Structure 1
Amino acid sequence: MAAKLEYLTQQQIDSFYRDGYLVIPGFLSQQDTSVLLTRAKQLLQDFSLEDHPLTKFTTGDDNHVGDDYFLTSGDKIRYFLEESAVVDGKLVREKEKAVNKIGHGLHELDPVFREATLGNPAIKAVARDLKFHHDPVALQSMIICKQTEIGGEVPEHNDSTFLYTNPPTALGFWIALEKCTPENGALSFLPGSHLTTPIAKRFVRMPTGGTGFEELISPENVPNRTAGKYILEACLPGDLVVIHGSVLHKSERNTSPHTRFAYTFHMIESPPYAEYDEKNWLQPTPELPFSKILDTPNPVVLSTA
């Protein structure tokens, strides 16, 4: 007998597994969304530049941030700057208007975002309904600011490249805190690409220091993905987008006078169902291991392919 669904409809579940993502309108109430946005802006106001290394965040394959400030951020709350906000080693914008993202331990260390992530019954219900994992754990979280006029483009990618497990099990929960439009960098997806695009490389710590990409499939052996059209998903504050770790998605540069704040966190499968190894850039610590999402594991799990 099939388990009773708690939050999602069967149609929504089928849509997720068909398209590789699912938009859930109004997942957070207006009040809860406002609380998160207010806290995000407070964090921007409160952070100090005195000991900040002016680390910029980039997402291109050949120029991904990989210094110690980034690599040791999994159990901290750190601030990464837009590329064009730093010129010749100096900040050329107000700090509140220069930050690309805040991460990666918000869901553990900040009480407001911890409650919204690990203490939210609706998150648990969606995870149980999807049956994407046996026993998921949360491993990173971010406030993405997408600053006015300089919020950088994020090129086509899938999340399992950067949060790799064997087999791939990354699942993203992305919550709009502000209106997301074509002008300020709303997300776009290639529906069904999770079924046709293998994880061909992974983002790792390099033996010589820093970060880089390790090929899992030689480029000549990567199958051509099915042609398709990207779908832009405009969102309202409080909307949730659940993102399969293998689906291709992207966002354009923010060319508007409006920010596009969003809160996102990712979960992966825990051992023994999947392996998360020491090559990954983000590592748990004895003081702050990855937190479980569910109180009891899912008894049955659908294929994540």
Structure 2
Amino acid sequence: MTLYDQFNNDGYLILKDFYTEDQCDAVMNRGLELSNSFNFDGHPSVFQTNEQTRTSDDYFLNSGNNISYFFEKDAFDESGKLKNDLFHSLNKIGHALHDLDPVFEKFSRSPQLKALATELRLDNYVIIQSMLILKHAKIGGIVDVHQDATFLYTEPNSCIGFWFALEDATIENGCLWAKPGGHNTTLRSWFKRKPSGGTEMHIFDNEPLSMDDMIPLEVKKGTCIVLHGFLPHYSLPNTSGKSRQAYSIHTIDSQLKYPAANWLQRDLSVLKGF
């Protein structure tokens, strides 16, 4: 079975040893450098998947063209002060790392990724967003079950994600969970901008995403996991003493309709693929 057929059958691929340890370390080191250069002004944007409509703000909505920093929901004490140092208070960095930083761009547009994109027949695809997901030891929070196409909606669906384990991902430190074939379902919702400002979750289908038969995708450092946009997946909190850093990029077919109501807005005509 080809990778193309396997991906369409299972809704995801697990590709071991896709990147070397040194390549993963370079991305993590650059993430630390970027966070150290972040001039935090005391007005945080909190990333929390189960409250994204409520917590959406201008900083978040403008992050598609920037390198922006998002905090864990429990990073602050009752007086609004950080409980820990800034780096270990962050949930993620995004969403244009792949276009604005040379280290992340090299990682996002490597020869092996170009070859994989060709094998998956992603001829018209562009990289529309990227995220360094930190998932720090003991404090890395839950990512609720979701479909990536909810956040990067095209008509018809084309969203495909590439998730890279920068460190070993285990059940204890919050690996991904998914079900083989779970992408053979409907898109439940669309996270979109409201005409009046802010965001809302437009519901297509009220049936909850099934978590039955989901399995942990425990992988080693350097692994690439490819995710279909309809595939329900989630990760649990990091309860271990080891961090679980990951880097992800999301791609769409640039020839399809990308509505102006999508939360993330970029000029597709200037976006690049692999």
Q: How does the TM-score come out when normalised to structure 2?
A: 0.93
Query: Offset of 1:245 from its aligned partner?
Result: 0.5
1:60 equivalenced with 2:40 (yes/no) = no
> Is 1:101–2:101 an aligned residue pair?
no
The answer as to 2:33 corresponding to 1:45 is: no
Counterparts in 2 of 1:225 and 1:181: CA distance versus 1, 3 Å: closer
Match of 1:262 in 2: 246
Worse overlay, 224-233 or 169-178: 224-233
> C-alpha distance in 2, partners of 1:16/1:181?
22
1:174 aligns with 2:158: no
Residue type of the partner of 2:161?
Answer: G
1:3 aligned partner: none
Cα distance 1:62–1:54, how it changes in 2: closer, same or farther (>3 A)? closer
Normalising by structure 1, we get a TM-score of 0.84
Instruction: Give the whole-Å Cα distance in 2 for the aligned partners of 1:167 and 1:283.
Output: 18
1:84 alignment partner, SS class: coil
Residue from 63, 69, 78 that aligns with 1:73: 63
CA distance 1:128–1:43, shift in 2 (3 Å): same
Deviation per CA, 1:139-190: give whole Å up to 9, x if none.
Answer: 1000000012111101111100111101011000111111111111001112
Q: Distance in 2 between matches of 1:65 and 1:31?
A: 36
- How far, CA to CA, are the matches of 1:290 and 1:230 in structure 2? 38
One of 194, 198, 211 as aligned partner of 1:206? 194
1:225 deviation in Å?
7.2
CA RMSD of aligned residues (A): 1.9
Return the alpha-carbon distance in structure 2 between the equivalents of residues 33 and 65 of structure 1.
Answer: 31
Call closer, same or farther: CA 1:275–1:215 in 2, change over 3 Å. Answer: same
SS at match of 1:87: coil
Q: CA deviation digits over 1:99-124, x for unaligned, max 9?
A: 00000010000110011113x11111
**Cα distance in 2 for residues equivalent to 1:52 and 1:181:** 34
Residues 193 and 225, structure 1, Cα contact 8 Å, conserved in 2: no
Verify the 8 A CA contact 2:189 2:204 in the aligned structure 1: yes
Identity %: 39
1:228 is displaced (CA, Å) by: 4.0
8 Å Cα contact 2:147-2:232 kept in structure 1: yes
Where does residue 103 of structure 2 map in the other structure? 112
CA contact (8 A) 2:3 2:120 kept: no
Alpha-carbon displacement from aligned partner over 1:283-305 (angstroms, at most 9, x marks no partner) = 014xx8552215xxxxxxxxxxx
Q: Which residue pairs with 1:4 in the alignment?
A: none
- Which deviates further from its counterpart, 84-93 or 261-270? 84-93
- What is the alpha-carbon distance in structure 1 between the residues aligned to residue 235 and residue 54 of structure 2? 17
Is the radius of gyration larger for structure 1 or structure 2?
1
Give the whole-Å Cα distance in 1 for the aligned partners of 2:54 and 2:218.
27
2:250 partner SS: strand
2:127 equivalent to 1:127: no
Extract unaligned runs of 5+ from structure 2: none
Contact kept, 8 Å, 1:54 with 1:91, in 2: the verdict is no
Q: Matches of 1:177 and 1:290 in 2, distance apart? A: 29
Distance 1:24 1:65 in 2: 35
- Displacement of 1:215 in angstroms is 2.1
Q: Flag the 1:237–1:63 CA change in 2: closer, same or farther, 3 A.
A: same
1:234 aligned partner: 218
Amino acid of the structure 2 residue aligned with 1:75: N
Equivalent pair of 2:98/2:129 in contact (CA under 8 Å): yes
